[in-house]
Amino acid sequence: MAGRIIGGIGSSHVPSIGVAYDQGRTQEPDWKPLFDAYGPVRDWLAAQKPDIAIVIYNDHGGDFFFDKYPTFAVGAADRYGIADEGWGPRPLPEPEGDAAFSWHLCESLVYDEFDIAVCQEMKVEHGFLVPMHLCFPHDPAWPVKVVPVAVNVIQHPLPTARRCWKLGQAIRRAVESFPGDSRVVILGTGGMSHQLNGARFGHINPDWDNDFLDRLESDPDSLTDLTHQQIMEEAGAEAVELIMWLTMRGAVSKRATRIHRNYYAPMTTGMGLIAFEEPA
């Protein structure tokens, strides 16, 4: 008996998606291409029935502030609160965790030389919630237990792309050494190209985003060489969030099949979606 990674998903976590969702506007013409693209991923997850979702995301001032901003923080609780980011908490059920699984993950990561912050209380926010509600039904409750993994992608110095990739590989080792038969899916969230500060606000680069998706499928190692400077120059200051997709890809094997992919850039962010399935 051992834990198993069944696949990985890369997804945008743009907060306006959550607003449109809460307002019931998912079938409006400009939103429909985004929301409909998640149908195949939802169906695949419903058939796969994972027990646990490990969600790689960043906190945008939902729970963490710059007084103590962790480079990597891992949730180790049986339940996670919904953060109030300034607009009031969203009407979503609180996700349940699996503290025993989380503590195993934390122990494995630390002994694997990833010096994470272990969090027994953690409120999750749009970076976590938007991909979750796009991928899973949740009325009245979520069908999976979760492990939130928060990465600093907002206050430099950030972890390198390669470090995030290696974190994914270490997460895979941790899952495969878990003494239970948990089926685990991993989500890497954020991006793709976007910039929210300065006169360059609104910069996006669909060609670069699609090349990133191509390489994520066929040559992910090449993406681990990217520097934050290169990502910011090409794809915007906030596109550095994409290093979290490398954690997902590092946790998924090279033998995995890409089963779904979508790209839509209606406003200020390249909204990417990709799903990988491990061989049975």
The residue (of 16 and 253) whose beta carbon lies closer to Fe ion is: 16
Contacts of 125 (CB under 8 A, 6+ apart): 59, 60, 62, 63, 82, 83, 85
Active site members: 126, 194
The residue (of 152 and 224) whose beta carbon lies closer to Fe ion is: 152
| Element holding 257 (H helix, E strand) | strand 257-264
Residue range at the interface with Fe ion (CB under 5 A); choices 3-11, 25-33, 142-150, 187-195: 187-195
Q: Give strand pairing partners of 5.
A: 184
Binding partner at 115 among other proteins, Fe ion, none, C-beta below 5 to 8 Å by kind: none
Binding partner at 100 among other proteins, Fe ion, none, C-beta below 5 to 8 Å by kind: none
Burial of 145 (0-12, 13-18, 19+ CB in 10 A): buried
Report the nearest approach of other proteins to the CB of residue 220 (Å). Answer: 18
Residue range at the interface with Fe ion (CB under 5 A); choices 38-46, 63-71, 79-87, 189-197: 189-197
Q: How far apart are CA 71 and CA 83, in angstroms?
A: 19
Report the nearest approach of Fe ion to the CB of residue 41 (Å). Answer: 19
Give yes or no for a contact between 247 and 164, defined as CB atoms under 8 angstroms apart. yes
Give Cα 145 to chain centroid, integer Å: 15
Q: How far apart are CA 195 and CA 236, in angstroms?
A: 5
The residue (of 7 and 250) whose beta carbon lies closer to other proteins is: 250
Binding partner at 27 among Fe ion, other proteins, none, C-beta below 5 to 8 Å by kind: none
The residue (of 51 and 238) whose beta carbon lies closer to other proteins is: 238
Binding partner at 224 among other proteins, Fe ion, none, C-beta below 5 to 8 Å by kind: none
